[in-house]
Amino acid sequence: MDAELGRLGLAERSVRLLTGRDIWGSITPLLAPRRNLVAAFGHVGPGAAALLPLEPGDTLITDASLDTVLSGATSPHALLHWVKAGVIVHSLRGLNAKLVIAEDDPSFVVVGSADVTAAGPRQLFEAVTLSHEKHTVEEAQEAWLEWCDLAGPALTAGDLEPLLEQYGAGKPVTARPATPARTAAPARSVVT
């Protein structure tokens, strides 16, 4: 177990911060050899399977609602790939979490800003924390289980196939009522 904690960068500490533009380049190798992954990502883009190495029996919760699919934020193609590979996929409308829990020994959680989308690698500045602290992992598992219960039954290929043609097709934008203009606050010095 000590060697595995060393590989995770957690041999001398319980929490580690990863930052950068290619955050999945750091996360994917940590997850790839692991089994029993459970994940929650609000948005899942094309090519997500190359970033998040889910295997048969692993479980993902995402927002695969029609609005999210129409907007192009969640790819039914990526979800269908996983479902056909034996990954259990649930949809929870309004989910915005970004976390992965490796439940085998030693268990750890990765939580941060990075969705599993093509926009993430090398384009956005991201930050995630990695922790094997027992209580933190347990809290993440409790939150994940609650979301899984709220999501209901797993999606099937039959649920996802009708969404394929709708992916990224856009949705009607409803006009918002005009809000009164606000005056900008005066600039403040950062250094005093």
User: What is the C-alpha separation between 44 and 96, in angstroms, rounded?
Assistant: 11
101-120 mean pLDDT: 89
Read off the pLDDT of residues 60-69 as tens digits, 9 standing for 90 and up. Answer: 999 999 999 9
Q: Is residue 100 part of a domain?
A: yes
CA end-to-end distance (rounded Å), the chain: 49
- 156: in domain: yes
Expressed as residue numbers, the domain containing 74 is 5-165
Q: Is 126 a member of any domain? A: yes
Say if 15 falls within a structural domain: yes
Task: Please report whether residue 13 resides in a domain.
Answer: yes
Number of domain units in the chain: 1
Asked if 21 contacts 125 with a C-beta cutoff of 8 angstroms, the reply is yes
Q: CA-CA distance, 1 to 185, in Å (whole number)?
A: 54
d(CA 130, CA 29): 13
Sign of the Cα torsion 6, 58, 46, 110 reads negative
pLDDT at residue 178 is higher than 70: no
Q: Which is more confident, 181 or 28?
A: 28
Residue 122 reports pLDDT greater than 80: no
Q: Count Cβ atoms below 10 Å from residue 176 Cβ, excluding itself.
A: 6
Starting at the edge strand that comes first in sequence, how are the strands of the sheet with 37-41 ordered? 15-20, 126-131, 108-112, 98-102, 37-41, 59-62, 88-91
SS3 103: coil
Q: Give the model's pLDDT for residue 1.
A: 72
CATH number of the structural domain spanning residue 12? 3.30.870.10
